Amino acid sequence: MKKRILIIEDETSIVELLMLVLMREGYEVKSCQSGREAVSMVKEFHPHLILLDVMLPGMDGASIVRVLSDDEQLGSIPVIVTSALAESQKLFATYPQVKDFCMKPFVLKDLIIKVKQAIGDL
């Protein structure tokens, strides 16, 4: 069974690139582009990992992590936060499900390593 990754990102070009690379790595990948859509998508898709942008329409990344952490089942899904804002790293440091942080623009090879570590494939 393929491991599932949910990309929560509003920049279409980033979503397309990540989906292509992660599918090539053998993962089942879905995406959504707004914070409001994210929580319901997590509940439907049951991902093994979430790649989460910070600045999203409808609900920001920090709010999504708070909602997920309040849910017993969803709070255990590991999250890798992606952001162009360095100060975002401090914001997410207190959430145990946030396993890593990746600054944009990121190096794909480095992100794939972080994904594999967080999902338990390394």
Q: How do residues 6-53 score in pLDDT, each as one tens digit?
A: 999 999 999 999 999 999 999 999 999 998 899 999 999 999 999 999
Give percent of the chain above pLDDT 70.
Answer: 100
Give percent of the chain above pLDDT 90.
Answer: 80
Whether the CB-CB separation of 95 and 68 falls below 8 Å is answered with no
3-class DSSP state of 60 = coil
3-class DSSP state of 49 = strand
- The answer, yes or no, to whether the previous bond of 105 is cis (omega within 30 of 0) is yes
Asked if pLDDT for residue 64 goes beyond 80, the answer is yes
| Residue 22, pLDDT score | 98
